[in-house]
Amino acid sequence: MKPGIHPDYHPVVFKDTATGDAFLTRSTVTSDKTIEWSDGGTYPLVLVDISSSSHPFWTGSRRVVDTAGQVEKFHRRYGRRGGRA
């Protein structure tokens, strides 16, 4: 690799704010926050809203969406229009 043209690739801890799970990996992202990891090292901490430990697809806990209620709410608010063209 050419020196000086690539970003710094270093260990970073990503923490899921929903579940509290954290994992250590390598990334080019930077952060002002730090965390002490189990190996005794101090690493930059990046907080994420969703990770594989909290995402409905990966956890299998899908949410039920009330589409019928939303359609009825739309019709009440805006009324039904004429037939299709």
What was the pLDDT predicted at 64? 59
Residue 70 is predicted with a pLDDT of 78
pLDDT at 67: 65
Residue ranges covered by each domain of the chain: 1-52
At residue 75, the 3 state secondary structure works out as helix
Query: pLDDT tens string for the chain (85 positions)?
Result: 688 899 999 999 999 988 899 999 999 999 999 999 999 999 999 999 888 787 766 666 666 566 667 778 888 888 877 655 4
